[in-house]
Amino acid sequence: MNSRAAQYKQADDLPDFSLLSASSTPQPVAVQEPADIHLRFEGVSKTYLTAQGPVPALQSIDLEIRRGEIFGIIGRSGAGKSSLLRTINRLEQPSSGRILIDGTDIAKLDENRLVALRRRIGMIFQHFNLMSAKTVRDNVELPLRVAGVPREARRRKVDELLALVGLDGKHDVYPAQLSGGQKQRVGIARALVHNPEILLCDEATSALDPETTQAILALLREINRSLGLTIVLITHEMAVIREICQRVVVLEKGQAVEQGAVWQVFGEPHHATTRSLLAPLRYDLPADLQARLRQQPEQPEDTLLLDLLFTGIHEPDLAALGNVLGGRIGLLGGNVERIQGRAVGHLLLTVAGSSLTANELANQARHLADRVEVLGYVAAA
């Protein structure tokens, strides 16, 4: 039995929240989906009607989110990230298009089934949304009380979840006595009370310091792995996406302008919005060198600058680069990182004293890097 099945076994005493459980009204017919597609957005648009007029927030979004993956949504402020996330549990209703979960169009669910759907989907928030006048136990337990779960089963579930999120022994403290990271752990425990299949994270680490962010990301990764949860997260922190997501979509003015595996999108961003969002992660040529760059050498000993891009296909091999380029090779800077096991990023190399022309050097380097750009020459110091 896998861990998820085991978890359900332990929770046998909880009500059956299955979307497919009996209902008195006709049930929406599930479309046959490939087993690994968990959520599907088909032409989803959302326009808010306000006193100032219609505000288009999402425009014809097509997206697939796979079962058990951690999927990131990025974009500038106002791009539509929250609107998109909130359509998944029907906190927002699309103006047009469909959202299918396991092949079921969620717009067609009646009230009972909507309640069941929402229990299949946990959600955590930037500011934790805990009740300050209630203890940790009460905060986590409340959704179970509302669902009519008997006291003993509630107690067991809360104990189990607080242990899972690393808050053993904190049952009786109040949120004000907890650190930000601990509050988010309570939020995660509460989001998991109904054994959800999907966890939505709305800027879940944005209010946390870098060290606590790492700890919460590790917890989310662990939950994803051990419970097999599909996690959909919004963040403005690109490092969070790089750290834990498998795939990502970039929103710009309500449109999905780029999507794919994180190593591909981060390794070679195509859309200007993606490039600008990722700019803080990129090492760029220092301004003083940029100002001194020339397209042609003024003296034979001038130094050539090459920008080598690694998009996850080639591994940076500095010894081999030294061999093919000849001359004196220097590493000016760069930021090659491993994302999903692939080397992604770029290296700025200096080449001096080579007998080859700039184009010949770039062509040599192209055997060992995925893209090579000649930046220009700087005068030898």
Ligand X SMILES: Nc1ncnc2c1ncn2[C@@H]1O[C@H](COP(=O)(O)OP(=O)(O)OP(=O)(O)O)[C@@H](O)[C@H]1O
Q: Which residues bind ligand X (CB under 6 A)?
A: 48, 50, 55, 57, 75, 77-83
- Nearest CB to ligand X, comparing residues 74 and 344: 74
CB of 374 to ligand X, least distance (A): 38
Whose Cβ is closer to ligand X: residue 83's or residue 182's? 83
| Shortest distance, position 127 Cβ to ligand X, whole Å | 13
Answer whether 130's CB lies under 8 Å from 183's CB: yes
CB of 52 to ligand X, least distance (A): 9
The residues facing 99 across adjacent strands are: 41
**CB-nearer residue toward ligand X: 29 or 55:** 55
Residues pairing with 54 in the sheet: 49
Q: C-alpha angle with apex 136: 205 to 199, nearest 5 degrees? A: 40
Nearest to 74 by CA among 206, 238, 279, 218: 238
294 DSSP 8-state letter? B
Q: Where are the alpha helices (DSSP H) in the chain?
A: 3-10, 81-88, 111-119, 136-146, 151-164, 180-191, 210-227, 238-244, 262-267, 272-278, 287-292, 318-325, 358-365
Looking at the Cβ atoms of 5 and 51, the one nearer to ligand X is 51
Q: Least distance (Å) from ligand X to the CB of residue 273?
A: 12
Six-digit token pair at 244?
């834990």
Strand partners, 58: 46
CA separation for the pair 307, 333 (Å, rounded):
10
Q: For residue 200, list its beta bridge partners.
A: 123, 232
> 319 is written with which tokens?
């010894």
Q: How far is the CB of 241 from ligand X (least distance, A)?
A: 14
- Pick the closer one to ligand X by CB: 195 or 273: 273
Q: Which is nearer to ligand X, 73 or 192 (CB)?
A: 73
Closer Cβ to ligand X, 77 or 295, answer by number: 77
Shortest distance (Å) from residue 234 CB to ligand X:
6
User: For the chain, what's the residue count?
Assistant: 381
Distance in Å, CB of 265 to ligand X, minimum: 17
